[in-house]
A and B are shown apart, each in its own frame.
Chain A
Amino acid sequence: MKDGSPRWPQVLLGVFIVWQLFFIFALNYTQLMLGPADGPLLDKPDGAPPDAVDRAADLVRNVTQRWANLTGQYQSWWLFAVTPHDSTFPHVELRWQEPGRAPVHLDALQEPVDTASYFRLPGGSDRLFHYEMNVEITYRPYDEQFMKTPQRYLQRAQERWPAVLAYLKWRLGQWQAEHPEAPPPSEVVLFSRSYTTPPPGAAWERTAPVNRDVFRWRPGAVPAAGFAPLEVYDPRRKGFVPLALGDSHE
């Protein structure tokens, strides 16, 4: 500064720079310690409740996350940290109640016909793939983890059902545009098809994929008060059950 006295815009800019340095470090560190932002403050690994330090860190996490929301500077850099042991694709099946009318299977849009030979160019299909990934892996009821903590998976189903419904409507709409003469289906089911990846060092042979029901939508049905228009598959009951809109689900 030429005359040694900063003007208030210069001070403001300096404060912003210092804040940004704090924000970048603080949000990354607190998320690594406490988990991704917007998540709950959990007990310590030994089961002890959060102490004052944890609550202070949670406050820092929340405040810095709001700044990230406002400015778009999300600090979620864990994309490749989670390793998917399965390759999963969303499939849709249209079902009718009238006898003699066979279900119609809508293949996954991005599943390779030959798993040993395919090539995908970059483009908009990459973003569609991200959408489908979020839709169909949101609820994987067959993991061992599900049986231990079913509430966590069911909560994700409660969070994501509007997006799943939009996806089912879109797939149905595409099919109906190609088949305008067909009556509307009575059920639209989203199921996942999973290919398990052989572990490293094992014989390289992909086993046959496994299909698992995830959501069911009945286009003509009116859900009961407090329940979503979608039902979710519950492996404990081996069938679809209503999906409550509230925080609890049984």
Chain B
Amino acid sequence: MSERTVVGLQPWLPWPLCRLPWWTDSVPAERLAALRIGLAAVLLVDILGCYLPYLGVFLGPGSLGEAGIFADRGWTGRLRWSVFHWADSAAWTHGLFVLWALSGCGLLLGWFSRSSALVAWALSLSVFHINPFLVNSGDNARNTLLFYLMLCPCGAAWSLDAWWRRHGLGAGRVFVHPWPLRLLFVQLTVLYFFTGAWKLLSADWTQGKAMHYHMANLAWTRLPYEWLPGADLLGQAFDWITLVWELGFPVLVFLPITRKPTLWLGVFFHLGTLLFFRIGPFPLYMLCFYLPLLPWEGKVQEFTDPTASIESPTVKQVEVEG
């Protein structure tokens, strides 16, 4: 008999959620761990690759993000808080920045995972609010993912926390309640649908012209329109495919026959925007939403012990609050 440990607080769910296995059946903790590790890696790339080279330009006294620049006209207040409001010296700014990077490292290693997620979320949101001109929708995705990670047992597997915990619990598979992954999947579905809905308000999108203008924009693109063969036809095709995929995502992803192609199209879509458009780590943050969808637990077992048999259907469940 194999032991199965479920980590985390089991939510009380009202009807009909409590009747849906999608909301109630626990999932392998490796899925949540993959999200944590992937997001931490992208966060560190963002912090060290995008912010660090311009630290004095973007943040702190005398910078483009000095406290007070966005204080008027509603950029602050209305609960748009930031710890950088109190960073009145370069030393404080640098200290907070180092703490931000360390929180990313803690999240990556799974060392005090939820606390690391909390610090990473607080500082990511603080940077977002103190200088909102630097951000795009990818930062919305980042902050949302970090928000969920700090509220769930994201260190239940593949982490230093899990390694320490195993000494007390013994061997066995670790599972988590699915609610954070389900909410993130709902967020992803709604995100894509409304992104498409906003595009429907634009005549350029409905007439198949939008991608032409985006791909030909000298400021937004990484490479020139002249380098793209058949750009006009390509642009029209991308227009229609994008609209159908985004607006149809809620249905396409839930139908078994279209689920995998739909998700793979999303992966290619984000890789394409990473290659073509100057939107920073936006595509990488979006790809983090896809990480929990992969069967990491099976792949790891296949890699570590290919001869292992299928888990016995008789399991003992031990619930531990993480």
Residues in chain A within 8 A of chain B (CB atoms): 1-2, 6, 9-11, 13-14, 16-18, 20-21, 24-25, 28-29, 32, 38, 65-66, 69-85, 87-89, 110-112, 115-131, 133-135, 158-159, 162-163, 166-167, 170, 195, 197-201, 204
Q: For A21, give the chain B residue with the smallest CB separation.
A: B186
A198 to B205 Cα, complex, angstroms: 16
- On whether the beta carbons of B12 and A1 are closer than 8 Å, the reply is yes
- A72 in contact with B144 (CB, 8 Å): yes
Chain B residues whose CB sits within 8 angstroms of the CB of A38 once the complex forms = 74, 78
Could you give 12 example pairs across A and B, Cβ below 8 Å?
A: A13-B179, A21-B186, A74-B143, A77-B140, A79-B195, A81-B195, A117-B224, A117-B226, A131-B64, A133-B219, A166-B64, A170-B57
Chain A residues within an 8 Å CB radius of B262: none
* B interface residues, how many (CB within 8 angstroms): 88
- CB pair B12–A14 under 8 Å, yes or no, is yes
| A10: contacting residue among B12, B54, B220, B278, CB under 8 A | B12
CB of A77 within 8 A of CB of B195, answer: yes
A83 to B211, CA, bound (A): 8
Min CB distance A8 to B, Å, is 9
Known: A28-B190, A69-B78, A77-B137. A124 touches B53 (CB 8 A): yes
Most buried by B among A84, A124, A125, A204: A124
Which residue of B has the minimal Cβ distance to A127?
B134
Measured in the bound complex, the distance between the Cα atoms of B131 and A9 in whole Å is 36
Docked Cα-Cα span, A124 to B53, in Å, equals 7
How far apart sit A134 and B121, CA to CA, in the bound complex (Å)? 24
Beyond A28-B194, A79-B136, A81-B205, 12 additional contacts (C-beta under 8 Å) are A2-B319, A10-B9, A16-B151, A18-B14, A32-B197, A72-B125, A73-B143, A79-B195, A84-B220, A128-B134, A166-B66, A170-B64
B156 lies within 8 A of chain A by Cβ: no
B276 to chain A, nearest CB (A): 11
Cβ contacts under 8 Å, B54 to chain A = 124, 127-128
Q: Does B232 sit at the interface, judged by CB under 8 A?
A: yes
B279 within 8 A of A: yes
Which residue of chain A has its CB nearest to the CB of B219? A87
